[in-house]
Amino acid sequence: MLTVAIIFFGLLLIGVPIGFVLGIAGVAGLVQVGGDNFLVMAPKRFFEGLNLFTFMAMPFFILAGEIMNRVGMTQRIANLADALVGYLRGGLAHSNMLASVLFAGMTGAAVSDTAAFGNTLVPAMVKQGYTRPFACAVTAAGSIIGPTIPPSNLMVIYGSLAGVSIAGLFAAGILPGLLICLVCMALIVALGRKLGLPKKEGSPSLGEILFAFKGSILALIMPAIILGGILGGIVTPTEAAAIAVFYALFVGVVIHRNLTFNDIVEMLIRTARITGVVFLIIASASILSWWMTFMQIPQQIADAFLNLSTTPWMVKGMILILLLVIGMFMDINAALIILTPMLGTLTQAIGMNPVHAGVMIVLTLNISLMTPPVGACIFVLSSVTGERIERISAALWPFILVEVGVLFITTFWTDLAMFFPKLLLDM
């Protein structure tokens, strides 16, 4: 175990990509426990780690979001959000946050949200007088709503690995995602006068709101198709994702007619790149995960936790701290795959509902997307806007604190997380 740990962290420290780190550490573990005879497990686990039907939903959701962004739906959603809340002090910041909620129903990925609004709303906010670090912080804070409100790629991964209802996880993510939006908007109100955030003169007319709604109606239909189909039991998450791609193509090619063949090819290549990175991590992590299971490491760690305390709220608190710390230094997809066996054992031991446990775990890792030194959303914003990572991180801390507050509410208030699963799915 010590040898594998040294290899793992040593490779991370010298900058080897996480997908290769996981695979090399896993192979080293197999050789150590079984010699060359165990090496046959490496390619087998590599492919079996991806052999789950539900994983097919991820590239479809990513491609659907790419198409809707390319045909201008992102800007139309931003216009609707601005018409609804743009008249408040810090109006564009509020619009950014509300747009993240609306955009969340199309992509299921925080990085897509960050890239889209980093290119559109951050320059608009800077032009209106916001500081660039604050504009980036608002965008990053809103971006984690994407993988919290369904569809969520991280929930697809967790549900597939843990054998938990993906529809249940999707339903359970709705209220926490909306709560994140509300507390962040409340924080923007609190910071409004202190930071001197801009405020529009007057309020929007009903006609302006209706005009913006009309322009974004086609984008708003997509989440209804996805959620209605999945929660209604009509389609699986994978089928819903494929339908979303067909719908997005129909909007771009037939209705708006601003999507060319070259655009489609470019988006397919981009989707393949994003999916390839995630799937490499999943496949490599499955090798390391199999070795850890063979060595009974998850059970040992779970027993160590339970030896400290068997009180449910204490165990939940330890899980949150563990995930927040690990998420600061490791890719969240890799962390989820490696830790799922241990977390499943722990949450079962304290009698936690598996859907509630899944939402708690996913939300915790989502917050890690904003925390340095490995926060993916910070790096994307820095790349897109040219702002320094340190300045974005400094402006982000108030938002991180309030979102951690939402995390604790979701974790310790079971009825909140399970409200929609019970209402819609009778779980």
Pair (186, 37) in one structural domain: no
Q: Residue 415 has which token pair?
A: 């009825």
Going by the DSSP 8-state scheme, the letter that residue 237 receives in this structure is H
Find the range with the poorest average confidence among 57-66, 180-189, 192-201, 249-258: 192-201
Q: Residue 102 has which token pair?
A: 């609306």
Residue 108 has pLDDT above 70, yes or no: no
| pLDDT on residue 3 | 85
**What burial letters (b/e) apply to 300-316, b meaning 16+ CB within 10 Å?**
ebbeebbeeeeeeeebb
Pair (18, 34) in one structural domain: yes
What average pLDDT does this structure show over 66-92? 81
| pLDDT on residue 107 | 66
Pair (263, 282) in one structural domain: yes
Q: Residue 63 has which token pair?
A: 């491609």
314-328 per-position pLDDT tens digit? 989 989 988 888 888
Pair (11, 91) in one structural domain: no
| pLDDT on residue 400 | 93
Burial of 127 (0-12, 13-18, 19+ CB in 10 A): exposed
Judge whether 249 and 63 are in contact, CB under 8 Å: no
Pair (183, 159) in one structural domain: yes
What average pLDDT does this structure show over 49-70? 81
Quick one: pLDDT band at residue 17, thresholds 50, 70, 90? confident
Pair (162, 265) in one structural domain: yes
Residue 376 has pLDDT above 80, yes or no: no
What average pLDDT does this structure show over 44-63? 81
C-alpha distances in angstroms, 312 versus 77, 240, 251, 324?
41, 36, 48, 18
Pair (27, 69) in one structural domain: no
Find the range with the poorest average confidence among 100-109, 142-151, 298-307: 100-109
Phi-psi region of 200 (alpha: psi -120 to 50; beta: other; left: phi over 0): beta
Q: What is the extent of the structural domain holding 186?
A: 49-425
What average pLDDT does this structure show over 174-196? 89
How far, in Å, CA of 256 to CA of 74, rounded? 14
pTM of the model as a whole: 0.83
Pair (182, 122) in one structural domain: yes
% of the chain beyond a pLDDT of 70: 97
Pair (15, 163) in one structural domain: no
CB neighbours (10 Å) of residue 261?
8
Number of domains in the chain: 2
How far, in Å, CA of 356 to CA of 418, rounded? 7
Residue 202 has pLDDT above 80, yes or no: no
Pair (308, 359) in one structural domain: yes
| pLDDT on residue 163 | 86
Judge whether 94 and 142 are in contact, CB under 8 Å: no
C-alpha distances in angstroms, 90 versus 134, 143, 191?
11, 18, 9
Residue 257 has pLDDT above 90, yes or no: no
How far, in Å, CA of 307 to CA of 216, rounded? 54
How far, in Å, CA of 61 to CA of 82, rounded? 26
What average pLDDT does this structure show over 280-291? 83
| pLDDT on residue 46 | 84
Residue 38 has pLDDT above 80, yes or no: no
Q: For residues 183, 184, 185 and 189, what is the CA-based torsion angle, rounded to 10 degrees?
A: 100
Phi, psi of 200 (to 5 degrees): -70, 150
Pair (62, 44) in one structural domain: no
Pair (28, 88) in one structural domain: no
What is the chain's mean pLDDT, rounded? 84
Residue 156 has pLDDT above 70, yes or no: yes
Judge whether 387 and 138 are in contact, CB under 8 Å: no
Quick one: pLDDT band at residue 342, thresholds 50, 70, 90? confident
